[in-house]
């Protein structure tokens, strides 16, 4: 199989991949209006239907109260804004991640505005739950408006309190830990009354389906998923996009589990209590264009004159696989490497390992290229040896064509006998290409999904490996290296049309790589340079054996 034809195979696979990806974007459903949706409603879009065990409902929105306040809690990694009406997190800034490269503004994961809502809500429903009261959600009291994790302290706990008419005190405590993106949310129920109190913990994430200014990104970045996802004891990880939420309410019962809202590089996720059966649910608010995914814990009964606690955890941060795996089983799967995850995962581990020595992620990509191409060297050698042997057989193949003419069956049998006799594998030249394409696509997903590479600089003008080269230097160099490979490779292509197509391959690939992340283009450029070196070395060895010289004659 000729080198140029192998390049054509790469081009066809790559174009197919890009077309499929763009089709996914173009065919994505548009948000429905309230009149268009077939979602059933209970008449009030502010409430999710109650569970079978509880006597209350899960509120989606809090009524405005004049005395409500916003409380700010700051650690070294997070700055949270809490609405005392219900105790919801209405804003979350990630202090170690800038919004844009070289920007002083921090990345905002949760926010609440006129055109876009993305908040984390939680509360107590059930027969005596304060969030199921006919008077609206509880108005918590805080001792101060701002809390800051002090130097030398490992954690910060902020209590909000509410006492109902029966004298039952509900204390909602937020706990932030130094260096972590996990928020502990704990409810202490102190029941001094003469009657038992029943309450059910719920926690949910609410987000607008459409985001202002979000046009889906470029052709190559459009596939980054944004939307709900969940995990149960039976389903390790499953996306449940806004279309699914609009069409049918999720209803899963599981021990443990989590629910989340995913976006490029970042995730917010509620982790349900490990003990007991939790109910996972979704709801679409037709009149607001917002989707909800959440869980309800089992009903808790607090006897008269006693106190009891209910708690959950909330991840608000980047997709850090090791840290998320410690927080909840399968939460690290939100780093979605697609169907080639079994290749992407080792590639990321290799990148991470090499980066610990190289310090720079760009150098780690270069070292990874050397490792991958080094492992593939036996296949590469077999490829070029096969190319040389196939060229040697061209006169004999031409003789077979003249002998059998249009008799394809005899021609095919004769070719197979010839390949067997000469010990030539006609597919030997294709195998390295077929192996390299999955590696290429896997590395693309690693660069797309790994937040470690976000805003990661290389050198000189490359200050972010996760986006395209701003001056297109790497794509141009990559195209030039493809041209060199093309000129070095022997060919038997005689058809004028095929020759023209082959001549344009470097240009076509250069155009495609203009929009690829710089890290991926760097990988392909270095891979081409290694290919040129290996090709020169292998052909030189073949010339010494006289094989290449015979093939070229």
User: DSSP string of 232-260?
Assistant: -SS-S-EE--HHHHHH---EEEEES-EEE
pLDDT tens for residues 443-459? 878 878 889 888 888 88
**Two tokens, residue 290:** 């917002």
Q: Kindly tell me if the per-residue pLDDT of 88 is higher than 70.
A: yes
What per-residue confidence (pLDDT) applies to 314? 97
Contact in structure between 181 and 78 (CB atoms under 8 Å): yes
- Of 92, 459, 401, 28, the closest CA to residue 243 belongs to 28
In the structure, what pLDDT confidence band is assigned to residue 22 with cuts at 50, 70 and 90?
very low
pLDDT tens for residues 55-82? 345 555 544 455 789 999 999 999 999 9
The neighbouring-strand residues paired with 331 are none
What per-residue confidence (pLDDT) applies to 499? 61
What per-residue confidence (pLDDT) applies to 13? 56
- Cα dihedral sign, 484-487-491-496: positive
What rounded mean pLDDT belongs to the chain? 81
In angstroms, the Cα distances linking 111 to 106, 145, 224 are 13, 18, 20
Question: DSSP strand E in 326-470: where?
Answer: none
What per-residue confidence (pLDDT) applies to 520? 85
Q: Alpha-carbon distance 514 to 114, whole Å?
A: 37
- Of 127, 113, 128, 220, the closest CA to residue 169 belongs to 128
Q: Is 302 exposed, middle or buried (0-12, 13-18, 19+ CB in 10 A)?
A: buried
Q: What is the mean pLDDT of residues 126-133?
A: 92
pLDDT tens for residues 275-307? 889 999 999 997 888 999 999 999 999 999 999
């Amino acid at each position: 199989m000729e080198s140029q034809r192998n390049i054509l195979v790469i081009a066809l696979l790559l174009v197919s991949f890009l077309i499929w990806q763009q089709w996914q974007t173009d065919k994505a459903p548009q948000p429905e209006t309230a009149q268009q949706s077939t979602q059933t409603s209970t008449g009030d879009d502010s409430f999710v239907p109650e569970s079978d065990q509880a006597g209350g409902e899960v509120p989606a929105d809090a009524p405005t109260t004049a005395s409500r306040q916003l409380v700010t809690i700051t650690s070294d990694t997070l700055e949270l804004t809490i609405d005392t009406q219900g105790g919801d997190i209405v804003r979350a800034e990630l202090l170690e991640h800038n919004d844009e490269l070289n920007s002083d503004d921090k990345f905002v994961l949760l926010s609440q505005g006129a055109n876009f809502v993305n908040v984390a809500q939680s509360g107590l429903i059930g027969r005596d739950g304060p969030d199921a009261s006919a008077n609206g959600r509880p108005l918590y009291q805080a001792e101060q408006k701002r809390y800051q994790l002090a130097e030398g302290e490992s954690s910060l706990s902020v209590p909000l309190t509410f006492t109902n008419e029966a004298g039952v005190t509900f204390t909602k405590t937020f706990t932030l830990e130094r260096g972590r993106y996990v928020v502990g949310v704990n409810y202490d129920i102190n029941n001094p009354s003469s009657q038992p109190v029943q309450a059910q913990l719920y926690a949910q994430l609410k987000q607008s389906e459409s985001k202002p200014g979000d046009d889906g990104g470029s052709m190559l970045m459009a596939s980054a998923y944004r939307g709900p996802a969940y995990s149960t004891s039976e389903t390790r990880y499953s996306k449940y996009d806004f279309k699914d939420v609009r069409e049918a309410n999720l209803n899963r019962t599981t021990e443990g589990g989590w629910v989340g809202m995913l976006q490029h590089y970042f995730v917010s996720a509620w982790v349900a209590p490990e003990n007991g059966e939790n109910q996972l649910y979704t709801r679409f608010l037709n009149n607001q264009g917002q989707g909800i995914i959440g869980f309800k814990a089992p009903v808790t009964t607090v006897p008269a004159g006693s106190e009891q606690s209910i708690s959950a955890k909330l991840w608000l941060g980047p997709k850090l696989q090791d840290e998320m795996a410690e927080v909840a089983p399968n939460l690290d799967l939100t780093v979605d490497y697609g169907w080639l995850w079994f290749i992407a995962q080792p590639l990321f581990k290799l990148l991470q390992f090499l980066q610990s020595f190289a310090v720079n992620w760009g150098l780690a990509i270069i070292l990874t290229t050397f490792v991958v191409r080094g492992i593939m060297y036996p296949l590469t050698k077999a490829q070029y040896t096969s190319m040389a042997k196939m060229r040697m057989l061209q006169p004999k193949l031409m003789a077979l064509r003249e002998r059998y003419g249009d008799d394809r069956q005899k021609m095919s049998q004769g070719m197979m006998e010839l390949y067997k006799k000469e010990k030539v594998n006609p597919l030997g030249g294709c195998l390295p290409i077929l192996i390299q394409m999955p590696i290429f696509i896997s590395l693309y997903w690693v660069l797309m999904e790994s937040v470690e590479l976000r805003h990661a600089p290389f050198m000189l003008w490359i200050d972010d490996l996760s986006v395209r080269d701003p001056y297109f230097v790497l794509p141009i160099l990559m195209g030039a290296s493809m041209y060199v490979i093309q000129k070095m490779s022997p060919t038997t292509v005689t058809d004028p049309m095929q020759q023209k197509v082959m001549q344009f391959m470097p240009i076509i690939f250069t155009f495609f790589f203009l929009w690829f992340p710089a890290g991926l283009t760097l990988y392909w450029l270095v891979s081409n340079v290694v290919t040129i070196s290996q090709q020169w070395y292998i052909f030189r060895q073949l010339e010494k054996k006289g094989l290449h010289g015979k093939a070229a004659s």
